[in-house]
Amino acid sequence: MIIYHLSTECYPVAKVGGLADVVGALPKYQNKSKGVDAKVVMPWYNKPFVSDHKFDIVFDGFIHQGPNMLQVQVLKEKSDTLGFELYLVRIPGLLDRDNPYGYQDENFQFLGFQHGVLHWLSAMEIRPDVLHCHDYHTGLAPFMVEHCHEFSFLKGVKTIGTIHNGEYQGMMSWEMARYMPSFDPYKWGLMDWNGLINPLASMIKCSHAFTTVSQGYLEELFVNFKGLENLVRYESGKAHGIINGIDTEVWNPETDPMLDFNFSQQDVIVQKKKNKQNICKEYGLRPELPLFAFIGRFATEKGADLLPDIVQRSIKQSFGALNIMILGSGNPYIENKLKEYDYTYSNFALDLGYKEHLSHQIYASADFLLMPSRVEPCGLNQMYSMKYGTVPVVSYTGGLRDTVKDISTGGAGINFTYPGADDVIHAMNRALMVYNQKGLMENLIQANMSFDFAWEKSAEKYIALYMS
């Protein structure tokens, strides 16, 4: 069975968030199954991975995007060390950028990517068994396969769409239709939602099956999906919630080369302390106090707007009896407020930016990981933290609901229902009580490290879905 994953991110080539982690791991684990050949196709980026690796040009052609004729090149990575074949689609001016997102003309960028991939596959007469599309950036591909004249060779190919984040749907005006490959005009309704082209809605309508990255999130979409609630209910017969896993070849505290001190369940208490000591020394924190950490994008869906309040109030209310460390970037208001508190409070450390290496070191050092998410389709941070012996303190939503159970119900984490500063601080107080009972804290660390979030089971579920 030949599967092509289409995605704008893939670790270690280009990563903005969890989408990259999933697309960098899922195909690798799928390829462990007999008879499965999963590959990844993504845009070309100006990234170190790309300049450090060798590629063969396997396709060189042209597409028409409205009146513009664009060159499309497909490059295949030569060394094949990722555990799957990697293909990069390069379109000068559109798909040759430094980063996946943040450009004014992203509609053209993502249309160009989908058009380029399908043009290459059709022109070279490559007919996959499954095209697996990830998020709205590739959400129009299932429609295009079926209804664009140019890709008639691909008609009937099975398509799967995975919703990693329904907050982003990629809506655009119908003006953009003239930049798409020409399609059967009678089928326009399959792209439309409320008078706009909505790629995520189109993915739900046109794919043979669609998935969310947890069962909990799927249930939430039925009642809260930015206007697509009725659509997802109507199409619920082809909906499947499949929880993400973690790539234990990358995220393993015993072997992770990004850690100062590696550890297993046997020596976690001693080694974690050493990691904590290093990080506290570097950031001017006090290693004898509990360390709460937040890692992530400063977006309201992550509850990042609550962070300044949480930092200020928790430090004041505990009379400075805890440390908080934040790694992330995003909303400038949040960044500035946190910078101010970084100067004000010696118990608080801030690192603005995206730092893969530091994130691993934080998971291995912190006592608690804070996730006050309002929306969390799956969430990988809590799973990494658990694997690294850090107790998750998380809101009860989406994938967090499916992966973290509260200590009061026999679980090894701390939940709070409403992501507001009061509830988060109450949850932090509960965490402090746990921290002060050495035996209990050590048991929780062990219990968290024992959870099995390996990809194998979920990779098999996707394969079963393809087979069906």
- In whole angstroms, the minimum distance from the beta carbon of 65 to ligand GLC comes to 28
* Interface mask toward ligand GLC for 195-224; x: CB under 6 A: ------------------x-----------
169 membership: H or E segment, kind and range: none
Query: Binding to ligand GLC by residue 459, rule CB under 6 A?
Result: no
User: What token pair was written down for 293?
Assistant: 């950490």
- State the minimum distance, in angstroms, from the CB of residue 322 to ligand ADP: 21
Q: How far is CA 249 from CA 254, 265, 376, in A?
A: 10, 17, 24
CB of 375 to ligand GLC, least distance (A): 7
In the bound complex, what is the minimum distance in angstroms from residue 170's beta carbon to ligand ADP?
16
Work out what residue 327 binds among ligand GLC, ligand ADP, none; the CB cut-off runs from 5 to 8 Å by kind. Answer: ligand ADP
If the CB atoms of residues 43 and 379 are measured against ligand ADP, the closer one turns out to be: 379
CB closer to ligand GLC, 165 vs 275: 165
Q: Where on the chain is the footprint of ligand ADP (CB under 6 A)?
A: 17-19, 21, 295-297, 327-328, 354-356, 359, 378-381
Q: Where do the H-state alpha helices sit in 222-376?
A: 229-234, 268-283, 307-317, 332-344, 356-365
For residue 220, the partner it binds in ligand ADP, ligand GLC, none, with Cβ less than 5 to 8 A by kind, is: none
Using CB under 6 A as the binding rule, whether residue 165 contacts ligand GLC is answered as yes
Beta bridge partners of 85: 39
CA distances (Å), origin 132, targets 6, 184, 253: 6, 23, 31
Residue 24 lies near ligand GLC (rule: CB under 6 A):
no
Q: How far apart are CA 101 and CA 22, in angstroms?
A: 18
Cα separation values, 423 from 265, 324, 367, 416, 430, Å: 31, 17, 19, 6, 11
Is 379 a binder of ligand GLC (CB under 6 A)?
yes
DSSP letters for 66-103 = TTEEEEEEEEEESS--SSSEEEEEEBTTTB-BSSSS--
C-alpha closest to that of 137 among 115, 155, 158, 121: 115
Q: Which amino acid is at 179?
A: Y
Q: Hey, what's the torsion of the CAs at 155, 157, 161, 162, to 10 degrees?
A: -160
Distance in Å, CB of 224 to ligand GLC, minimum: 14
Query: Which helix (H) or strand (E) is 107 found in, with range?
Result: helix 106-123
> Of the two residues 179 and 354, which places its CB atom closer to ligand ADP in the complex?
354
Which residues between 285 and 304 bind ligand GLC (CB under 6 A)? none
Between 383 and 422, how does the x/- string for binding to ligand GLC read (CB under 6 A)? ----------------x-----------------------
Q: Which residues bind ligand GLC (CB under 6 A)?
A: 17-19, 22, 164-165, 213, 244, 376-380, 399
